[in-house]
Amino acid sequence: MTEAVQGAGRIVFQAHELRDRVLALGREISDAYGPEDRLLVLGVLKGSFVFMADLVRAIDVPLQVDFLIASSYGDEQVSSGDPKLLYDPGSSLQGRAVLLVEDIVDSGSTLRTLLSTLRERRPASLEVCVLLHKSAAGVEPPPRWVGFDAPNEFLVGYGLDHAEDFRQLPYIASL
């Protein structure tokens, strides 16, 4: 598929580019963890669900999966800067190796809030894997694994949405 769905704009990352990069991230993450780490992959819903599904299938070490929901956009194209935790994971993080999987780091406010909240739960380690990272996002420390540097545009597809539309696209497009 080379043409974007009507309204989605130009294609920024093709489906084959996403597939290849997710496989590479899976190898890198697999090299960083062992069975003794009790890896918990924690996805930030809803945007990360497609990426996370592909990523966990590419990771070659035992793992468990859980989710949380955070929101800072609503129906807008700009972050509110005030992220809300709408669903808290049921899994205990204490003493676990936790890999937080996020779709995109834009302003960094959601990720900063989530990392602060999750650190309070005393994981053995807490790392971040993000599919898309905008260079303007100032998160310290930066995500350990980044799929792609993203242009400063509003992106949709491969799980990312605008007002719940476009998640189904197999590529990422600029709105």
Catalytic residues: 106
Strand partners, 61: none
Burial letters for 13-32: b for 16+ Cβ neighbours within 10 Å, e otherwise?
Answer: beeeebeebbeebbeebeeb
SS (H, E, C) 45-75: ECCCHHHHHHHHHHCCCCEEEEEEEEECCCC
| Contact between 9 and 154 (Cβ < 8 Å) | no
- Helix-strand-coil split of the chain, %, nearest 5: 25, 35, 45
Amino acid at 164: E
Per DSSP, the three-state class of 143 is coil
